[in-house]
Structure 1
Amino acid sequence: MDDVDFHHPLFLHPFDTPGTVLVSHRLTGVENYTVWSRSLRIALLAKNKLGFIDGVCLRSVYPESLRAQWDRCNAFVLSWILNTVSPDLSAGLVFASDVAAVWKDLKDRFSKVDGSCIFFLHRSIAHLTQGDASVFSYFTQLKLLWDEYTALVSFSDCACEVAQQNSNHLLQQRLFQFLMGLNETYAGVRSQILLMQPLPSVNRAYSMIVQEEAQRSFSSVLSPVPDPVAFSSTASGSRKKFTGTCDFCKLKGHKKESCYRLIGFPPDFKFNHPGVAE
């Protein structure tokens, strides 16, 4: 058999096994096909086996001496796919022999990229708000939706001026989406971000919001809590009865400025001693 080096599509690393689970996502149907297929394509690209599912790495391309190795690699990739689909789906794939045909069959069955799918994804992005979640959790969820939307809706990678303007507009819209979904407690820092010229990237804005969140958490920890004993003592002291003598009537229990004999008795005042005249 001809030698294959590390960069050859037919190379298998000693640690590669048919039981390896390449991605954590498990295909269950239409609802998660996009995320699953995207994750698996990235993993297969890292292992230089993407050509097996794209139909580029064909058995007929290689000489007779390498076809047994191709069959082995094909079986490995098929096993990796079987390890990441639900049991109901894997039962219908175990008898397949060509991994490219299996990939095409799954795509035809579950890749339903239509207007309704894009609409509901766009609505999820537009309606997502922070709520009770942390800024980190909110931004992570929003970014996952953006990535899924990008996988479904292709954008031009042209380097022309118009394409660049469209790209800048998309990034600006994502910045606004992130800021709009934040709780109103971040209204101050949000206003600061919107006043920046030029507007920062969404990642930069996220960093600023996270710093604000961390600062608030730190400040709440350091804020002194009033001593309930001291507060009670101060409050009771402020209500303590006056024990001195009035300078006008020479009676105890009130000051001159509140002496009724000087300022007048209230209409409903009742004398405790009959001998005291009004």
Structure 2
Amino acid sequence: MASADQASSNLVLDPVDSSDSNELNPNPYCLKSGDNPGSILVTELLIGRINYPSWSRVMVIALTAKNKIEFINGVIGKPEANSPLYKAWTLANTMVLSWIYNSVNKNIKSSVMYNETTRQNNLLVSDYFTNFKTLTDELMNCDPLPECSCGAMRILTEKFEKDCVMKFLMGLNENYAAIRTQVLMAEPMPDLNKVYSMVLHEEMQKNISSSSSSEIEAAALYSNVSAKPNSGNRYGNRKERPICSHCGI
């Protein structure tokens, strides 16, 4: 994925200036005078799985027309806080989030509003799982699976559980890439609680390994210091007397 600095190395940094954008190389960070966080870009509001495909298509078209599609397709990522692009990114990204939020039915807005908490970031695995499970349960309450007495209900439930596992894995930090791959290759795929236990165990192993490495490094440092002559000993730094090669004295 391209970084924000790489993707925008040739772009100006003023985010609210319609004159800084040209027709051949429009600046995605630029906010036009008509851009408003209260605007609704699409007439069809997202109400859940039932209309997501059609809603997603018109939303992509609308954001492309606004020259903001790169904020959601991964081309423009979040820059470092000390980057000259950080302020421009924050303004433009917030505008995009507002447009998406305004295009979602009120019953599921809370899940969209707190979407960032479904990523681990600096959280412990247990805290990340708690946040993830809370939002998943809230989404299920707002948009429950249809009631059905036939076998299709079991298929829908299994698909929902599999989607939850996938989203949980994708929200983990990159240092859990190995356990993520292990779960994705498992057949059948374990359920969410089992995956949580596996990731929690991996976190414990990482902590133990890190602690052991620190102890070994400390012991090695102590050993090196202890092996050095004591500078307080008057004989510690005494040099051997030179011996004459002729008489041996």
Structure with the larger RCO, 1 or 2 (CA within 8 Å, 6+ apart) = 2
User: TM-score, structure 1 length as denominator?
Assistant: 0.40
Query: Rg: which structure is higher?
Result: 1
